[in-house]
Amino acid sequence: MDDMMVSTAVEEILRCPVCSLPISFQQGTWRCEQAHAFDMAKEGYVNLLRKKLPGDTREMLLARRAFFDKGYYQPLASLLNELLQAHLAPVQEGPVRLLDAGCGEGYYLGNLQAQLAQRFGQVYGLGIDISKDAIRMAAKRYPDTFFMVANLNEPLPLADQALAGMLNIFAPRNVAEYARVLAPGAPLLIIIPGPRHIQELRQSLHLLNIEENKQQHVVEQFSGSFTLLETRELSYELALQQAEIAQLVMMTPNYWHLSEEIRARMEALNSLSTTIDFICLVFQRL
């Protein structure tokens, strides 16, 4: 598909981020009736932010892409595919519109869209991230997916009940908005780090700890508008060499806290075996 076709496929569910009116695509620009306008970038994404907000940097994103491209998080991608195949099926009518809220450089969404299309036919992936660098990288690699730079902590640029499903992977959570844009019965997959996630790496380098009781906190957050259908834990060991250790540190929020001491420890660490521990919470919109 070219950018024009992708835009047409998602046009009916997009809303102006300023006034919430419908927004349509004309001559390279998204425009609402009140003349709020947003240009489509040459890479095929739209920037809906009025001012630049801090997000993942290009250095973080390049580290993440290099790490993903080695397949280290492929087990999570497979689990997401399995869960969406199972939970989209009962509610799916017409085209599947799937949002990845906090999509980063697009790895999970781009791959899932292709896999889901084999079963469901028309699948339209939409990705939102606050980092323009992330969205630019995503749009270049996954031209069949529609990417937007937007803030998940503000009203989403989407119509009510627009989506058949949603992903939220190590990303901010906006309960009221996620409830608004999902169709009744639609699945919402939230991935958070489990308590043992990269624990050996955290201990070796003195990195940030995982928030305590995170899982319980998320379940409580979403309990008003969603039912928890199932909880899946995914845990495995990774044997990493120095380059991958650095990539794994750089792709996380630890990037913002890299002291001289941590850098020195990182350079001294030639190899390490560490635990990957994901928790996947499968919610359903009531």
Q: Would you say 32 is a known binding-site residue?
A: yes
- Shorter beta-carbon distance to Zn ion: residue 50 or 206: 50
Spatial contact of 238 and 197, defined as CB atoms under 8 Å apart: no
User: CB–CB of 103/191 below 8 Å?
Assistant: no
**Is there binding between residue 159 and Zn ion (CB under 5 A)?**
no
Residue 106 annotated as binding?
A: yes
For residues 180 and 115, the answer to whether their CB atoms sit within 8 Å is no
Span of 10-18, 154-162, 242-250, 260-268 interacting with Zn ion by CB under 5 A = 10-18
CB of 36 or CB of 141, closer to Zn ion: 36
Residues in 162-221 that interact with Zn ion by CB under 5 A: none
* 82 assigned to a ligand binding site: no
Q: Is 276 helix (H, G, I), strand (E, B) or coil?
A: strand
86 binds Zn ion (CB under 5 A): no
Nearest residue (beta carbon) to Zn ion = 16
Candidate list 1, 11, 36, 143; residue touching Zn ion; CB under 5 A: 36
- Is residue 152 within the footprint of Zn ion (CB under 5 A)? no
* Binding segment (CB under 5 A) for Zn ion, from list 13-21, 116-124, 179-187, 229-237: 13-21
Task: Work out the number of other CB atoms within 10 angstroms of the CB of residue 50.
Answer: 11
Q: Which residues pair with 7 in a beta bridge?
A: none
Residue 34 contacts Zn ion per CB under 5 A: yes
CA distance 222 to 216: 10
Q: What values do phi and psi take at 90, rounded to 5?
A: -70, -25
Count of residues in contact with Zn ion, rule CB under 5 A: 6
At its nearest, how many Å lie between Zn ion and the CB of residue 100?
A: 24
d(CA 30, CA 40): 7
In 3-state terms the chain splits into helix, strand, coil percentages (rounded to 5) of 35, 30, 35
- DSSP for 148-195, written as a single string: EE--TTS--SB-TT-BSEEEEESS---HHHHHHHBPTT-EEEEEEE-T
- 18 lies in the site for Zn ion, by CB under 5 A: yes
Q: Is 16 one of the binding residues for Zn ion (CB under 5 A)?
A: yes
Does position 265 bind Zn ion by CB under 5 A? no
Minimum distance from CB of 35 to Zn ion (Å)? Answer: 7
* First-to-final CA distance of the chain: 34
In terms of CB distance, is 18 or 262 closer to Zn ion?
18
Interface with Zn ion by CB under 5 A: which range of 26-34, 51-59, 142-150, 187-195?
26-34
Dihedral sign of CA atoms 164, 232, 172, 4 in order: negative
Q: Which stretch binds Zn ion (CB under 5 A): 3-11, 35-43, 58-66, 241-249?
A: 35-43
Binding-site sequence positions? 16, 19, 32, 36, 73, 105-106, 197
Binding stretches for Zn ion (CB under 5 A): 16, 18-19, 32, 34, 36
Binding residues for Zn(2+): 16, 19, 32, 36
